[in-house]
Amino acid sequence: MENSVHVKEVVVIKPSEPTPSRVLSLSALDSQLFLRFTVEYLFVFKARPGLDQSVITARVKAALAKILVPYYPLAGRVRAKIDGSSLEVVCRAQGAVFMEAVSDHTINDFDRAPRYVTQWRKLLTLSVADVLKGAPPLVVQLTWLRGGDATLGVGLNHSVCDGIGSAEFLNSFAELATSQNRVADLKPKPIWDRHLFYPTKPSRCYYSATHLEFNRVPDLCGFTSRFSNERLAPTSIIFDKRWLNELKRLASSTSRPIGLTYTSYEVLSAHVWRSWARALNLPSNQILKLLFSINIRNRVKPSVPSGYYGNAFVLGCAQTTVKDLAEKGLGYAAMLIKRAKERVDNEYVRSVVESVSQSRACPDSVGVLIMSQWSRLGLERVDFGIGKPVHVGPICSDRYCLVLPVYNQPDAVKVTVAVPASVADKYEYLVKSPCS
């Protein structure tokens, strides 16, 4: 029988103190077309004995009202500027949405991948499809599970904050729910400063040669329609330290030039990318891309100040053909990823800013696997007084690949991605069988 979720309360939470009334411009990076969606986080908590649900609920609501004082743009509403050039936030203390619900899900349901991509959809009942239509950029749902455990679903609009900014916000939000600290005591203090990524000069329109992520490639196999029309099956696989070290060894032994060393993320993303490509059985000459976010806070000059919660990343892009990805070994794929990271410096970032602001450059989806690393954000520390989460992940599984933290295993990561159901078994077999 389908698990049910019953929403008991829906309320708009406004800042607990007066906040500035103004219109704030978002940056060129914030305003990119592919970021105009809501990132939906799911935290699962195992309740300690004797926990009072009403007390926790009251504390979460009070903390939300408090955190919306320093983070007052999250209580505003996002809109497009009249000239359509970028986005802005109208700050009038409109508020965030809080929901409390009960469900007959149990905590054991989250030990494995969901059966289908939307199985946990109702754990964040209000799904904001288009924030530009007046919906709030922040939505929170506390759901009490059968057995007294809990989930917290959080929707944060990507145009307003990136992963690092979201994690800093969530940890500060949780701290206010569990301590006597005042808002003034929070660290880091949130900083707007979106002018750091405003365009400063006319675009030189050379991005097609410099930025592979914006190039269009031919669809030789109905790639886009396949992911749109075929049922997608969620997958979830844990990689421990031993496994990651084995991938590093394999990458180094198949690398050209010899002697290159790789990070855990480089070899993991290379292995997942190769397994995904081989499972899909694509034409050998189909061009594939791996897109992944690169934090630029310390790659630009001057560096971005601590507490900046806007989008401070660009997309790294590794590109090759199906044939080369499959046949040239793990070291080849890891080398492509490493080189994509090394390209990103201050000048590179500035050229991305100009490209996305002047020409509305946007990544295509043909042949693309997008990977996002949530395991290094600090999401596993978010504690609203119930305890640290035993599961952190997305509300809905997607064709985007996420690298997630694993409860009580700091050296391990969990990789989740939804693949066409017809190749799910093959993908899992390949990804669990490291080979060169």
Cα–Cα distance measured from residue 75 to residue 77, given in angstroms and rounded to the nearest whole number:
7
Global pTM? 0.95
Q: How far apart are the first and last CA of the chain?
A: 43
Catalytic residue among 104, 219, 364, 383: 383
| DSSP code of residue 386 | S
Query: What is the tens place of the pLDDT at every residue in 308-336?
Result: 999 999 999 999 999 999 999 999 999 99
Catalytic residue among 105, 158, 271, 391: 158
Share of the chain above pLDDT 70, in %: 96
Cα–Cα distances in angstroms (integers) from residue 20 to residues 24, 78, 132, 243, 246, in the given order: 10, 16, 21, 51, 53
Task: Please report the pLDDT score of residue 360 as a whole number.
Answer: 80
Cα–Cα distance measured from residue 432 to residue 429, given in angstroms and rounded to the nearest whole number:
5
Question: How is residue 77 written in tokens?
Answer: 């509403």
Cα–Cα distances in angstroms (integers) from residue 17 to residues 64, 91, 187, in the given order: 12, 14, 19
Cα–Cα distance measured from residue 288 to residue 273, given in angstroms and rounded to the nearest whole number:
9
Model confidence at 1, pLDDT cuts 50, 70, 90, reads very low
Catalytic residue check, 271: no
Helix then strand then coil, in percent of the chain rounded to 5, is 35, 25, 40
Task: Please report the pLDDT score of residue 201 as a whole number.
Answer: 67
Catalytic residue check, 383: yes
Query: What is the tens place of the pLDDT at every residue in 83-139?
Result: 888 999 999 999 999 999 999 999 999 999 999 999 999 999 999 888 899 999 999
- Residue 178, SS3? helix
